[in-house]
Structure 1
Amino acid sequence: MKKLISVIFLSAILPGCQQVSTTESGINQINRKQNMSMLLSEQQVNNMASQSYQETLDKAKSKGVLNSNKQMTARVRNIANRIIPQTSTFRPDASKWQWEVNVENSPELNAYCMAGGKIMFYSGIIEKLNLTDDEIAQIMGHEISHALREHSRERMSSAYNKQLAMQGLSLLTGGKYDGYMSMADELMQVGYFLPNSREHESESDTMGLELAARAGYKPQAAVSLWQKMAAASKGQPAEFLSTHPSNQTRIQDLQARIPAVQGLYDAAVRKYPSNLKG
């Protein structure tokens, strides 16, 4: 079994990947090197995201659920207009992205930002959790951070390497270990992909906290947000097998990072007091 795992691991790091950091480090020093496939460019991922996003918009339009709540849509877009300019702190090129912000009328507790700045909020997460503007800003900062760090491209690169590893294993063994493929797949999933996914979430929490603070949204709202999420997600899976940190772990980590960004929030309030109402 050790030989099997070694072959998989070595295959997963075959040439074809480069180690980069897609963003500047920020106040909390996010400087992890990311494995990106040289066969999958940022532009390719952005194009895929743009196409998928447009399909989502078209589908929502056909159902009459896209931006149907004008007040909520304006609210979300106003928050985005304050946060998006802050992305230059981490990525100057983000100012050139074709940003889009929309709201779909759906009961789901969800929101996302696709590669290239395609943002979608579902009305359910705002209404069911009774979110304040500060709490919406924490979600938005978090989701935008996924896009800034190109986490989707990183996951695609990992999946590609995994596929190469499995093919390489089969070739190296002449198919002898094909019966262990499912076991090897589970080992790769728990030992490689899940920790990276948790790492992505933690990075986005940290970057999102800073983005929101720079836009003048209260850092403490990150804690109240996840307290609400914890109350709404009872019965969640154990942290070890989850792609997200547990709510309690998340809250503790955010509380520890708030002092570092408090000064950014205070400066934003002093600099733009007329823009920071409501």
Structure 2
Amino acid sequence: MKKFKHLAGCLALCAAFGVAGGAVAQDDRHTTVQDGIEVRPLSRLTKVVPAETVNQAAAQQYTQMMSQAQQKGVLLPPSHPQVQRLRAIAQRIIPHSARWNQEASRWQWQVNVIDSKDVNAFCMPGGRIGFFTGILTSLKLTDDEVAAVMGHEIAHALREHSREKMAKQGLTNIGARLTGLAASAIFGVDPSFTGSLANAGAQLVGLKFSRNDEREADLVGLDIAARAGYDPRAGIALWRKMAALSQRAPIELLSTHPGGESRINDMQAHMNVLLPVYARTKGTTAAKLPPYRSNVALR
């Protein structure tokens, strides 16, 4: 009898999780279009994690990271040419960010550069941007390509992907545990075994969400960069460079990022709406724009 009561409880909780999962799927199906850029609406699940909580955590983590970098002598000073360069690019992009999230107009934006070989950059919730010198030097980024990277990272913050991921991951973990318990109750299987299988599946679901977020960030990022007067075709050049830098990329199914060619195809499919936006900032039309030229020969 205890076993059946335990099973009933598990199934009830799984059903509740299924309703929450349905809300996730429903959010993903309904999209909105802004000047040709199709995005999902901001997930209702973000309400599970208060914005204030996320912003406070991000502020604390960012401060700690920059403090540690300064102590180690790898935080570039404001007078450094690369810091001045990135802050100038950010000043042009940031005014266009509120069109994707009105809260961005109240963010306390920061831009810092860490001297490291890491080929990476980020933007934490609340507009806290960080670049590693490795991505600037290894890829020899032009200003347009820096804007593509920066726009992409800012877009993650604008679309509240971190907050959404925290909420989804919490629900997914709950569902994984409940599924394991229910299966063990039905079939008499060791809960640790079924739990491990469920957790593996949960990780794949999480990766799928991440790939969707990356594709969205690519397009929203190029949109705000284009409005700031940076050539959106730089996004394509950027990923050509990334492909050349890393010839042995992970299988897309097991990667938190879409494959390079997949990203390039998505960007190319939206150039018909991105290029006119950029062309207007130059006082011309998309048809009259010269070809994009990077500082490295690309295939």
Matches within 5 A, 1:126-275: 126-169=136-179, 172=182, 176-177=188-189, 178=191, 179-190=193-204, 192-270=205-283
Matched AA of 2:56: N
Residue 182 and residue 133 in structure 1: after superposition, are their counterparts in 2 closer, same or farther (change >3 A)?
A: same
Q: Which shifted more, 6-15 or 39-48?
A: 6-15
Structure 2 unaligned regions, length at least 5: 1-10, 285-299
Distance 1:224 1:16 in 2: 37
Q: Can you list the C-alpha shifts for 1:226-267, whole angstroms capped at 9, x where unaligned?
A: 100111111111112211111111111111111211111112
Q: Can you list the C-alpha shifts for 1:61-86, whole angstroms capped at 9, x where unaligned?
A: 10111124700000000000000000
How many residue pairs get aligned? The number is: 265
Q: Which shifted more, 209-218 or 254-263?
A: 254-263
Matched AA of 1:153: R
Following superposition, the deviation at residue 152 of structure 1 comes to: 0.6
Aligned identity (percent) is 38
Match in the other structure for 2:68: 59
Q: Secondary structure at the match of 1:119?
A: strand
Following superposition, the deviation at residue 26 of structure 1 comes to: 2.5
Following superposition, the deviation at residue 15 of structure 1 comes to: 5.3
Q: Secondary structure at the match of 1:218?
A: coil
Matched, 1:82 2:92: yes
Following superposition, the deviation at residue 10 of structure 1 comes to: 4.1
Q: Can you list the C-alpha shifts for 1:167-204, whole angstroms capped at 9, x where unaligned?
A: 434665676551211111112222x2121110000000
Match in the other structure for 1:106: 116
Q: Can you list the C-alpha shifts for 1:57-112, whole angstroms capped at 9, x where unaligned?
A: 10001011112470000000000000000002112221101111100000000000
Matches within 5 A, 1:14-25: 14=19, 25=33
Matched AA of 2:67: D
TM-score between the two structures when normalised by the length of structure 2: 0.81
Matched AA of 1:26: Q
Residue 186 and residue 266 in structure 1: after superposition, are their counterparts in 2 closer, same or farther (change >3 A)?
A: same
Distance 2:283 2:234 in 1: 19
Residue 266 and residue 150 in structure 1: after superposition, are their counterparts in 2 closer, same or farther (change >3 A)?
A: same
- Between 1 and 2, higher relative CO (CA 8 Å, sep ≥ 6) is seen in 1
Q: Secondary structure at the match of 1:29?
A: strand
Residue 171 and residue 251 in structure 1: after superposition, are their counterparts in 2 closer, same or farther (change >3 A)?
A: closer
RMSD of aligned alpha carbons? 2.7
Query: Is the 1:24–1:89 contact (alpha carbons within 8 Å) kept by the matching residues of 2?
Result: no
Query: Is the 2:181–2:194 contact (alpha carbons within 8 Å) kept by the matching residues of 1?
Result: no
Distance 1:263 1:224 in 2: 18
Match in the other structure for 1:274: none
Q: Which shifted more, 180-189 or 208-217?
A: 180-189
Structure 1 unaligned regions, length at least 5: 1-5, 272-278
